[in-house]
Structure 1
């Protein structure tokens, strides 16, 4: 069994609904106003069993000029257009507009039914058919049939022509993504919210998790029930008309134009980069209505320019977001535009559904040129170049471009193998030469820190990571550090050495030795002071250095084990070690260390005693118990 979707097209009152009823036995006019006025106002639907396992979903569209937007919504997802032309009127304005919309949406196969044969002779019917052929030109492959839906004459010929046309259509490729554009939303007592639409790709099964994506965001749900033309099914496969009972969603939060999908990458977007097929010149700042799927928005058109293939390329800035994937087609309408297609301004295909807002125009042009050419390798090169210096995340290519994400990823991996690109944690790509430049930058940052703070051991590793991440992202920063540490000859500067939490150049030993100059003077002052300690002011007097340099000198002496810092004083490391040993020996003889005991052992006053006792507490040598100290870990 194979399913198809067919849509009608044609001017108002040319007999579309009457012909559908004659073919299927279903009256698609369901609204009282449609019955009263005798014209189609909303989309109508009918199942049509052509036999031999051919099941057709028929979408009957309105023909009135004020309802062209409804017609475009109905055309979303159809595979074959049944163009209805009345023999007594021939091609009319909405005939032209409908065909223009169908062409823009990618339809190239049609059956032309010249109706109302009972009202005119064969000659007028033939002329109407010739006029329709002229309208379709070489853009459509079409078969023309004359008929009268009222008398039944020629209806079987229409059926046979439709069968032949459908059998010539290629079998749709299987798609992992399911997508249905909602055209109706209603509530069923005991079931809840139900949406209908054309399932244009993929498949849906009962119970499977789904997302309803639209202007207001994303709503998580599941398929509680599925119906294909009032028949309950466990699984529905595209293409087909489908009703989906949505679990857990109230009626008021789902609307026409929303998309039901299982694809987490489909998101609303306000910017589209598109290839245009325009019936009028595109002017900067021009506004038009945009129709895609069953949704509608208004957009300002900003020309990007003409691609190298000679195609006009524009950026659409939408007033309300649309749910669009790369490769989707759209129609533009503008009431102020006159031309051979009536109110249809033009349309085209989405090249990039989520383009970056601010990028150099030349780089953006390179991306759209590559997308139009359809060369995955050229696409990934242009995208990586546009994203630089940051890597291009793998997730950023899903559902976004007219070229498939799978083809782009495969091309990227080939370029990784060739050494042109580098892969970051299997989640992003970046130019290898960009990584080399960033590694050189990392070495320069460390070198600059050495010059700025020669007394430091080096640049704090976390600081270096953050600076690199600010330029290239966290994932790339780690890869950059790996290269900067290596002895890669392509990287400028000396290799970085990582010691604990510090990054330094491999040849860096410090600008000053601890035995000479201000450093030596500070070390001598601290050594001479012993347990009495030296304040920062005392160190300035001993060295004659400026305050900022004194801080660096004292920090260096602490790092190198010459001094110990406690309570705003710097003590001799050797003297502190000796005192610590005496305290431990005392606690081995006596369970408690009083303040008096400490003063007797150290000969120190309160100014030095308190910070040193607190130091030993922090080191885990002692533990405070009231006013005394006991051995750490004792009870």
Structure 2
């Protein structure tokens, strides 16, 4: 189908057909090179076709307007449905929303989609969370008090957080209630879930990320091992792999063979979490 589209005599006709065959975006820069068209001629062909252009870094991707509108509506409705089912939640992280969509969009496309919805106020942002306009929620007085006690404990223990069951015993709190609160605080970005049993405050994760970045700079080829990570950070054995897997998942580190390298600064990772 793509070859047939490329063989069309009219560039605009070919472009229209190619757009329909590119649900994740048509790379206009690559297409211009493939056709060997001058900038003015290629731009004229683009203007003859109804499309939405999305700039992602050095690339410009094009979508049919129907496809782009459908992606927007799907993101809005997915978030709205989630908030309706989790009415006590302050919002949804962008990465969680990206994972909840029926098809996983490339991150640059998703970023552009969310940026547009935010700019047009179809979505609003509260720190790292996305929510529908008008959505409000707050912790009950008792949960707010428990959260303050929880933050104090986690800040004190830093790199050696107790398991949730131990936290519940220490705070004299019901285990199920505490787990629910921890999940809510993780969704709101006030804590980072390392696993089902361990949570870190954002400041602690940022500290570990800073140590990791320094470690990578010192290693040959900028690749560090799990053992070196554990030694340098002081993270316990049972948290080392789960924490590195979190770093991989959010794009801070990349696994390379038996080691890992730092992909980008932690501040950039956080900015991406907030903006996506």
TM-score of the two chains, using structure 2 as the length reference: 0.48
Q: Bigger radius of gyration, 1 or 2?
A: 1
More strand by share: 1
More helix by share: 2
